[in-house]
Amino acid sequence: MGSAGHLSLVLLLAFLLGLHHSSGFWIVNVVFPPPAKPKVPSNSTPPLIIVPGNLGNRLEAKIDKPSLVHWLCYKKTEKWFPLWIDLNMFIPIGVDCWIDNIRLAYNRTTRRSSNSPGVQVRVPGFGQTYSIEYLDYNRLAGYFYTMVEHLVNVGYIRNETVRGAPYDWRVAPNENAEYLAKLQNLVEEMYNQYQEPVYLVGHSMGCHYVLYFLNQQPQAWKDKYIRGFISLGAPWGGAVKVLKVLASGENDGLSMISNLKIREEQRMVTTNAWMLPLEGIWPSDHVFISTPNFNYTTKDYQRFFKDIDNEEGWYMLEDTKNLTSDLHPPGVEVWCMYGMGLPTAVTNIYDEVFPNGDPVDFVYADGDGTVDTFSMSLCKRWVGKQEKPVHITEFRGLFHLDMVFHEKVLNQIQDILEGKSDTPTEVDVRTDTEYRRSGV
């Protein structure tokens, strides 16, 4: 690594150290993840697959580009290089190169996305855990490391009994058929190897991917191959934060990149449109974006995209809005776990510079600091709607990203894997108190 690489590493470290808990939906905010505490080995280690959230695994690229956005950008590479997280994105000029490499081009006619011209993108480490444990090759941006290490401490084996299922999180599942086929093959492979059904663990948007995957499978297949679905912090009704991301951008604390600059990339991925709050679930009069000229609800998405000069976003929404919006029960036993008790923005208030400036104020409701409780608690609708049980645990005082780190969550996952399905209905992580009550 040359001097530019050392500078990028220093900037990455400074960035990660400077971020706050509230940046959790786009997972780049943990440096040196907490270590897993020693545990007594368990005699029960049923096979487990982890599906990460948005931005939750590495991407790699190889380029041979017909043109450049800046003369300092690489035009061609012989080898695959890190695209997410790419250290060059933390250098002022490098961010333009990075955006041009990671962006998608959306075709309104075919209703399909493609990589930037001359760019190949691949997802490294399918079936392994390294790509979801740390998002960078310097092992600074930790994600599932603490959870995987906890599982290893109780007897799991990396890449054998616990495996990762990373994917191209830029695109929604309607454009990711190859991934869904690989996930099905991985489930069947682990079942055949260990002769017992598989647990699926999802975090945030990854839970929507799991739900979509399960709803594509026949019930007989699920009865045979899937033991249960552990859902962590799922925005079942969409995430209000996405409207701010699409309108004015969200750098999640990365001061070296302006919100408007990162907005270029954020508008080009179809998963952001997929994660918008859902019409028919949210109250029709709930205002998500308030401006001096107009208040936007779920009924106003077409105007919203026109007003922010991002009409492709409307087509992306039309393509993805029905993928999981009916919240059809997954047909397997579910443990739905999420944080609560923290102020979470549910309305973004802008002044006259909308959409080219940050919100000047917010309206808050209960949530995990990133996703509101109303959205995450919609899994309660599945209770009594499927034969398999649905268990709900609310973690009071727990931030969105901490769902994959906190000892209380990790211990509950361990209990589930050991067959102790009678989980508490509420856990207050601030007072270390658990509550159990009948019904949901």
Active site residues: 204, 368, 400
Closest CA to 281 of 421, 378, 169, 379: 378
- Rounded to whole angstroms, how far apart are CA atoms 102 and 99? 5
What are the b/e assignments for 413-433, b being 16+ CB within 10 Å? bbbbbeeeeebbebbbbeeee
8 A C-beta contact, residue 300 and residue 254:
no
Which letter does DSSP use for residue 90 in this model? G
Sequential DSSP letters for 31-64: BSPPPPPP-PPPS----EEEE--TT-S-EEEEEB
- Rounded to whole angstroms, how far apart are CA atoms 396 and 434? 10
8 A C-beta contact, residue 296 and residue 255:
no
Helix, strand, or coil (residue 211): helix
CA–chain centroid gap for 344, Å, is: 17
Helix, strand, or coil (residue 421): coil
Give the contacts of 342 (CB within 8 A, at least 6 positions apart).
Answer: 366, 367, 368, 369, 397, 398, 399
- Rounded to whole angstroms, how far apart are CA atoms 272 and 270? 5
* Six token digits for residue 281: 């679930």
* Six token digits for residue 242: 């996405």
8 A C-beta contact, residue 378 and residue 280:
no
- Rounded to whole angstroms, how far apart are CA atoms 245 and 254? 14
How far apart, in Å, are the Cα atoms of 12 and each of 52, 58, 180, 249? 21, 15, 32, 20
